[in-house]
Every structure is written in C-alpha cells, then in structure tokens.
Amino acid sequence: MSAKLTVRPPTAAGLFYEDSPEVLQMNIDEYLEHARVPKLKSIVRALVSPHAGYVYSGFAAAHAYKMVEKINYDCVIIVGPSHREYFNGISIYPGDAYETPLGTIPINKEIRELLLEEKNAIIASNEGHRSEHSIEVQLPFLQRVLGDFSFVPIVMGDQRRQLCNELAEAIARVGTNRNILFVASSDLSHYHPYDEAVLLDNRVISELEKFNSETFINKMEEHSFEACGGGPIAAIMSAARRLGANKSEILYYCNSGDITGDKSGVVGYLAAAFV
C-alpha cells in the first residue's frame, strides 16, 4: 500500500478566485482570450505576475501566462513573498503537491532537493505556505496554459539583498541545462491615490526595463517604489540573466482603480516577461 501523499489544500479558492472548477476555468480562459501579447521568437525564461483576487488582477496575470501557452517546461519554479508569516530565510514546501479546484500539481522533488543542497538559507518548511496566497493564485493559470506540469513553490520570509542573491544563484544553477520557467509573484504599490500609485509603479516598470537586478534592489532598499514581491522579482531577474535572458518585456499594467473606478486608494498590478 502506498503512503498517503501530503497535499497542500487550496486556501484562496472562493476568496481570490472561484472555487467552482467550471467557473474558474471559464474565467481564466476568458482572460486569456482577451489578452494581447507580442509574438516573440525569443525564449521566455521568466514571468512577473500579480497575486490579487482575479477580479482585480486576473486580466493582468493572463498577459503573463499567455506568453507561455502550450510550451513544455521541465519544471516551474514560483517565488512569492510571505504575507502572513515572517521568518528568516526561504522556504520550499516539504510535501508532495499543491491542490487547486482544477486538480493536483506535483512538487518536483528532484529540483527541490537540488535547491535544498545549494544554500543554508533555503529550507524545507511549511512556514510561509500554510495560508499564503501568492503562490497558489498562480497555479490555476499555469494549469490552463501548460496542462500537466511539476513545480517548486518557494516563499521568501525575508527579502533582504543577501537572500535575493542566494536564491538567484541557487535557482540559476539548477536551471542550467534545464528548461525551467521562473515566476515571480508580486503586486506593486498599495493604497495610494491613483496618480501617486501610477508614479510609483512606473518606477518599477522603469527598473524592469533596465533589467538590472542590483539597481532594482538598490531602489527597493531606498523605498523608491513599492512591490510586495520585490525580492522575488529581483531573484528571478538575476537568475534569468544568468541563464541567458537579456531583455524584459512589459506586457500589461493596471491598478485596482481601473477595475473598480475607486481611485482614492489603489493597488498596482504588472505582467512582465524576461526573454
């Protein structure tokens, strides 16, 4: 008799996205159908995708995931911030799979073990995974555009420069000679008036266009902009560059005020690709 699998159940279903598989699939497919992205001959190494409720950020996320529709990857590595638990380090879920209403996604244990061997700061732990939504909300989109895939969920409990650099080195090393898609999960500024938010978010866009993770971290440390997943973006950008990416594509930007019409305090959402 086989041992029972340890599966992380969905905690954002019914809150951030629909818990009905049929409605969820229909919503995602509609977002993807209306997303317009450039046709590139370049290889997409990494994506930046938001992680708010789909009614707010789903269309932005669709622009990121449309870039990798029907592409086969050896593995997907998703890096997100921890919203609810602070811990000093970087955690990888120690179980067997994550589940969404669209099905179960297996953890790539080979890649996980290689990452755990890389750096002391990267540990196998439930910390940051118990009720965190930043990883989970990416998964239904990936299920629709990739079909069956395995992945490694990574949560940064702290986003200081040292951890960004250690994570970048580790995931770049395991990505060498493998076809791995990297995803950085991040929203942008939070709860500023509309015009102020656009100004702050344009600074993030400008730094992404420069495609330099060190200057991105510098600006992040100076609080020149806001990005709740700034550390994941910096780590993924650095890893993508080490693996041959040399350009960023800004795919879509909006904020919650564009969706709701309430511009008194908004949250920014960005889709980008590193190619």
With a cut of 50, list the residues of the chain below it in pLDDT: 1
Q: What is the pLDDT of residue 2?
A: 55
Alpha-carbon Rg for the chain, nearest whole angstrom, is 17
What is the Cα–Cα distance from 28 to 247, expressed in whole angstroms? Answer: 27
Residue 220 carries which side chain, given as an amino acid letter? M
Q: Among all chains, which residue has been given the structure tokens 């909300």?
A: 137
Q: How far is CA 194 from CA 76, 80, 155, 185, 191, in A?
A: 34, 25, 29, 22, 9
Q: What is the pLDDT of residue 235?
A: 98
DSSP 8-state class, residue 225 = S
pLDDT tens for residues 120-153?
899 999 999 999 999 999 999 999 999 999 999 9
pLDDT tens for residues 52-93?
999 999 999 999 999 999 999 999 999 999 998 999 999 999
Ordered by where they begin, the domains of the chain are: 7-274 (3.40.830.10)
Alpha helix (H) ranges present in the chain? 21-34, 54-66, 109-118, 133-136, 139-146, 161-175, 194-210, 213-221, 230-242, 256-260
What is the Cα–Cα distance from 39 to 34, expressed in whole angstroms? Answer: 15
Residue 138 carries which side chain, given as an amino acid letter? Q
pTM value surpassing 0.85: yes
Number of H helices, E strands in the chain: 10, 12
